[in-house]
Structure 1
Amino acid sequence: MTKPPLTVRELIRQQYATLTQSERKFANSLLENYPAAGLASITIVASNADVSTPTVARMVQKLGFKGYPQFHQALLKELEAKVSGPTQRRENWASEAPEGHLLNRFAQAVTDNLGQTFSNVDSEQFDAAVRQLANTDGRLYVVGGRITRALADYAFTHFQAIRQRVTHMTSSSATWPHYVLDMEAGDTLLMFDVRRYETNLQRLAELAAERGVKVVLITDQWASPVAGVAEFAFNCWVEIPSAWDSNISTMMLLEAMIAATQEESWDKTKDRYDRLDELFDMTRLFRKFS
């Protein structure tokens, strides 16, 4: 499986330091409403960003495109990838599948995904997100969607052992208003959302952000719309030779966050671990071999 090309968003991040002030103005306008802000004609997108059409033309060339039509087509392909279902995903990889056993292709795809994911994590943003996750002055809420609820459950199990005041929100959106009712400024919402992006999760994030809750989003390489209101957003590469996307890189990033959060407040966490082990012994949850 060939390595997926960088998204326009990633290209902008790579080249941002080389852009002029007016080009950055267009880039910022595009990122604020991505990718929709770039799907119109060059004259319209330039007008919407309050820049000239030559500015737009120069910027897209700096990103590596021959011209605006190629840039526009790249955004359309990203949009198509965002909304594609399992059948279309399988057709996409099957049409380009090289010879060789599926196990080898799968392993290579996962390896590429991990490399892309971790090479695109900003360490300062990661550290800031970890400090937010470790902050017990506010409550930590954890939620996932139809597929990612398993990640949310895994995250809750670990974070609840690491720190106090952790709430696992159910996957039923009908109950979410009850959780939002108690959300306060300074709380944290850890959210998982991957394509095809769930509208209920976006609305939940918006309601939480309006209340001063810091949203930490783990999403895929195309980025959930929740990124627009998230304080911290992390992109994970997920494409594999399958009708379904992979959560391996997503899980790896989550485990890195769990490990870092544990170390952020180790003294308190160690005490919780010790007390939790005592409770396990009292309830005889685990088998003893001595």
Structure 2
Amino acid sequence: MHFAGYFFPAAGAGRMETALNVETGRHRAIAPYLWDSLLVFKFQPLQIDQNLKNTLHRRCLGDKPAHQGSLGTKGKKMANSQTLIADRITAAMGSMTSSEKRAARMLLARYPAIGLESVTAFAEQAEVSAPTVLRFITKLGFGGYPDFRRALRDEIDESRKFPLTRPRSENLDAGSDFGNELLEVVRATLAELDTGLVEQVIELFSDERRTVNILGGDLTTTVAGHLLYHLRKMRRSVFELPEMVQERSDRLIDLGKKDIVVLFDVRRYQEDVVTTARIAAQRGCTIVLFTDQWMSEASEVATHVFRAKIETSSPWDSLLGLTAIVEAIARELDRRLWSVVRPRLEAVERYKLNLLAQKEADPSSERHR
């Protein structure tokens, strides 16, 4: 299996494994826990090069390469309701003036609320002129502000869908058609993954002076737990924020500027998760948000935001995109901290064996529990 430059042989149990770096030809030790990926796909090395940027640009905005600047007439014609506004911003950012970029960042920071306001109100909050906002909207491929607001309302409606309101597909081959959809969820998510953002978050997670506090939502609990598992293997002071509101309140009151709060929130966004983000922001915490392409309102106060694709033909949203981001982060963190992680894992394994040996030697202890 290839992933980010490494070839992995079949995993072994209970011992340190090695992986061959296909670029350098060198082997390195890999902890057993990193072998058990929740993803069953085979990835090529993750490299955000110019060809990939051009491919993403063409997928989002038509045939014009990214380095050629603004969309032009052809780009405007092809921009359609299936292309998310955030994706249009990402692809068109290189052609924007500094004032237009300010409007773009304000829209992303206060999505979708600011876009539903008047041009004047949008301009005032972004600290730009109304004509700048209109030029910005035009560069996204819209004919005017009403078209932009209509597309924004459509995105909001789409973000509110859930299994009871989504159509059921007929005659979908789970082994090929749906499998390809799941592959595309992962590919599209990783193609848009900002490597600079990953580096910033890795830097945060590497700092053991900070605590890491993780909270998942109703759907995202499992992927939040996956990140929790990896981080606990690699460093200390990693906690799960309690599901019970009272217990969570008790935990939040102790958080401050040295603490990291990691939240997972996808469509049918949970108010308690959004409120947790706002409280944590008020207390000065660094907030890392994992969300979907429509973005939770928690993004308004988040320091770092990861967006994953979640939609397929299934009425149930996919978590594979979020899981792919988590595993990419885990892999990079392992690379950064391996000199510290290895002795930690070895000690953990010793403790586990000692505890199991004690349990076997004293079976009465189990009866007295």
> TM-score normalised to the size of structure 2?
0.69
For the 8 Å contact 2:110–2:299, the answer to whether it is kept is no
Residue equivalent to 1:276: 348
For the 8 Å contact 1:130–1:261, the answer to whether it is kept is yes
| Deviations 1:217-261 (CA, angstroms, capped at 9, x unpaired) | 111111111111111110000001211100011111111111222
Alignment map for 1:124-163 (pairs within 5 Å): 124-163=196-235
**1:196 pairs with 268, 271, 277, which one?**
268
Residue equivalent to 1:5: 82
**How far has the Cα of 1:75 moved from its partner?**
0.6
Structure 1 position 26 matched with structure 2 position 103: yes
Query: Larger Rg: 1 or 2?
Result: 2
Residue equivalent to 1:260: 332
Judged with a 3 Å threshold, the aligned counterparts in structure 2 of structure 1 residues 21 and 158 are, in CA distance, closer, same or farther, namely closer
Alignment map for 1:82-161 (pairs within 5 Å): 82-88=159-165, 90-91=166-167, 94=169, 101-161=173-233
Structure 1 position 176 matched with structure 2 position 248: yes
Residue equivalent to 1:58: 135
For the 8 Å contact 1:138–1:186, the answer to whether it is kept is yes
Identical amino acids, percent of aligned pairs: 28
For the 8 Å contact 2:137–2:145, the answer to whether it is kept is yes
**How far has the Cα of 1:59 moved from its partner?**
2.1
| Deviations 1:120-155 (CA, angstroms, capped at 9, x unpaired) | 111111111011112101111111111111222222
Higher relative contact order (CA 8 A, sep 6+): 1
Judged with a 3 Å threshold, the aligned counterparts in structure 2 of structure 1 residues 160 and 46 are, in CA distance, closer, same or farther, namely closer
**How far has the Cα of 1:54 moved from its partner?**
3.7
For the 8 Å contact 1:220–1:238, the answer to whether it is kept is yes
**How far has the Cα of 1:211 moved from its partner?**
2.1
Judged with a 3 Å threshold, the aligned counterparts in structure 2 of structure 1 residues 59 and 282 are, in CA distance, closer, same or farther, namely same
CA RMSD after TM alignment: 2.4
| Deviations 1:256-286 (CA, angstroms, capped at 9, x unpaired) | 111222222212211110011112222339x
2:240 counterpart letter in structure 1:
H
Q: Structure 1 stretch 67-76 or stretch 118-127: which is displaced more?
A: 67-76
Runs of 4+ in 1 over 6 A off after TM superposition: none
> TM-score normalised to the size of structure 1?
0.87
Structure 1 CA distance for aligned equivalents of residues 128 and 284 of structure 2: 33
For the 8 Å contact 2:213–2:241, the answer to whether it is kept is yes
> How many equivalent residue pairs?
279
2:158 counterpart letter in structure 1:
A
Q: Structure 1 stretch 2-11 or stretch 159-168: which is displaced more?
A: 2-11
Structure 1 position 78 matched with structure 2 position 155: yes
For the 8 Å contact 1:149–1:171, the answer to whether it is kept is no
Residue equivalent to 1:288: none
The SS at the match of 2:236 is coil
Residue equivalent to 2:362: none
Q: Structure 1 stretch 244-253 or stretch 55-64: which is displaced more?
A: 55-64
Give the structure with the larger helix fraction: 1
Structure 2 CA distance for aligned equivalents of residues 70 and 103 of structure 1: 39
**How far has the Cα of 1:26 moved from its partner?**
2.9
For the 8 Å contact 2:241–2:248, the answer to whether it is kept is yes
The SS at the match of 1:203 is helix
Judged with a 3 Å threshold, the aligned counterparts in structure 2 of structure 1 residues 162 and 101 are, in CA distance, closer, same or farther, namely same
Q: Structure 1 stretch 167-176 or stretch 273-282: which is displaced more?
A: 167-176
For the 8 Å contact 2:190–2:324, the answer to whether it is kept is no
Structure 1 CA distance for aligned equivalents of residues 226 and 132 of structure 2: 46
Q: Structure 1 stretch 48-57 or stretch 79-88: which is displaced more?
A: 48-57
Q: Structure 1 stretch 198-207 or stretch 35-44: which is displaced more?
A: 35-44
Q: Which runs of 5+ in 1 are unaligned?
A: 286-290
